[in-house]
Amino acid sequence: MGFFKTLEINDDNDKKSGELEPTENVKCLIIGSGPAGYTAAIYAARANLKPVIIQGMEAGGQLTTTTEVDNFPGYPEGVTGPVMMEDLKAQAERFGTDVRWGEVTSVDFSQRPFKVIVDNNKPFIAETVIIATGATAKYLGLESEKKFRGAGVSACATCDGFFYKGLKVAVVGGGDTAAEEASYLAGITEKVFLIIRKPYMRASKAMLKRVENTPNIEILYEHNTKEITGTNVVTGVTLIKRKGESDEEEVKIDIDGFFLAIGHKPNSDIFKDYLETDDVGYIKTIPGTSKTNVEGVFAAGDIQDSIYRQAVTAAASGCMAALDAERFLAEQE
Ligand code: NDP
């Protein structure tokens, strides 16, 4: 914030500073390039808002880290995450979306038009901003997790569960997501081990009951993951079982898939000075809209959705954000 207070953003100043590139004025700046960002871009471009999209650190978003996507409507044979994101990008570009590399490093939403800085040196002045920066799944931080990512390790049961039909899997986490993912996987797989580090689950009572009443879910309380094992793909996991105050025991189980459900981190840190978020950091929107507490700033996709987190729901909310931005601009004229 202080950065903007001491800096008059205009071309003249930029040249003098020797650090900033020339300022660009845009009607609609979209931050983030997952399904929400690209869908917002498709709608905004078709409405002649000439959107500029800043791709962010992970161009294409979370889907670029998955393999097959079988649940996005319109792909009867399925599609890989990266190909789907290339398709969405191409569709957005077909209508004139300007797609840029770079990461938004700071914003000033204290007044309109808004100021947005990319890569610390590229200023934009935007009449509207659509935030679609998504959320990042948390991982345990094990070396083996990295090794088997896409080869048995996943952070999305709805995306990847199908590949484990009739097999054994483990889900780690004790919240509502873990309960939901375990229940979902129980309907597909032979057996689900639910690994919980505490002696209880923090999930809601209803979810806990559901998990407890599912015969092929085995809950392993007070277990921590030591290592995921296998050669090329996951074949097992080594757990540490807590026994009493100071005792513990190593437990090995055979599994084919290991699912993380230990929470997501919404990528909202740089907006927190201006936008209302919940305790976890999800941006709050006015129900039924993509509007944030700052008029002219909209949020779409996983950055404002801790519950559904699907590509198709993200895409739908991206559409809403573009329509909201278009209407907002029309009202200003
Ligand atoms: P939560 O933060 O609620 O739960 C995370 C879980 O992961 C906790 O049980 C936590 O353990 C565990 N955990 C965290 N770090 C580790 C670690 N390093 N090793 C082992 N376990 C770990 O996240 P959720 O994604 O489950 O839920 C997020 C929000 O979304 C919640 O408010 C939830 O209610 C909501 N939600 C609602 C749904 C619905 O209504 N249908 C569905 C899904 C989510 P510990 O308990 O020990 O801290």
Q: What DSSP assignment string belongs to 281-318? A: -PBP--TTS-B-SSTTEEE-GGGG-SS---HHHHHHHH
Catalytic residue among 28, 159, 256, 305: 159
| Residue 159: active-site member | yes
| Residue with CA closest to ligand 1 atom 4 | 175
- What does the pLDDT profile of the chain (333 residues) look like in tens digits? 333 332 333 444 444 445 789 999 999 999 999 999 999 999 999 999 999 999 998 777 877 766 678 889 999 998 988 899 999 999 999 999 999 999 999 999 999 999 999 999 999 999 999 999 999 889 999 999 999 998 999 998 988 899 999 999 999 999 988 999 999 999 999 999 999 999 999 999 999 999 999 999 999 999 999 999 999 999 999 999 998 888 999 999 999 999 999 988 999 999 999 999 999 999 999 999 999 999 999 999 999 998 898 899 999 999 999 999 999 999 998
Task: State the CATH architecture for 24-136+264-332.
Answer: 3-Layer(bba) Sandwich (3.50)
- For ligand 1, whether the C-beta of 181 sits within 6 Å is no
Asked if omega into 266 is within 30° of 0 (cis), the reply is no
139-260 has which fold? FAD/NAD(P)-binding domain (3.50.50)
Do 24-136+264-332 and 139-260 have matching folds? yes
Domain ranges for the chain = 24-136+264-332, 139-260
Residue 277 is given by DSSP the state B
Cα 164 to ligand 1 centre (Å) = 23
Contact 173, 262 (CB under 8 A): yes
Q: How far is CA 302 from CA 83, 133, 161, 228, 318, in A?
A: 20, 8, 20, 28, 10
Cα(226)–Cα(254) distance, integer angstroms? 14
